[in-house]
């Protein structure tokens, strides 16, 4: 099991949800700019569905944001 300590984000990029492709860089957190539902593949490969995500930060280590099941708008935050 990997453990991620919270650190200040050093980079970020807008996310275009995609069911088949991982993010260019794995995100250590997400920032939701428009509330909605969210489906992500976590860093360890687990699939997570969140039906009502509010605007604000989510401290999830994520490698994919799926288009199916995602209506929220998010920005990926990275350590590099």
Q: Is 44 part of any domain?
A: yes
For position 69, what pLDDT does the model report? 98
Q: Is 54 part of any domain?
A: yes
Residue 35, CB half-sphere, CA atoms under 13 Å: how many? 6
Q: Is 6 part of any domain?
A: no
If one counts the domains in the chain, the total is: 1
Q: Is 3 part of any domain?
A: no
Domain carrying residue 40: 11-78
Q: Is 32 part of any domain?
A: yes
Per-residue pLDDT of 24-46, as tens digits, reads: 988 888 999 999 999 999 999 99
For position 6, what pLDDT does the model report? 55
Helix (H) or strand (E) holding 53: strand 47-53
Q: Is 42 part of any domain?
A: yes
Whole-prediction pTM: 0.85
């Amino acid at each position: 099991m990997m453990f991620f300590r919270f650190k200040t984000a050093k980079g970020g990029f807008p996310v275009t949800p995609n069911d088949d492709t991982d993010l260019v860089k794995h995100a250590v957190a997400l920032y939701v700019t428009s509330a909605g539902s969210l489906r992500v593949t976590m860093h360890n490969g687990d699939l997570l569905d969140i039906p009502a995500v509010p605007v604000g930060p989510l401290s999830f280590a994520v490698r994919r944001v799926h288009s199916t099941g995602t209506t929220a708008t998010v920005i990926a935050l990275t350590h590099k």
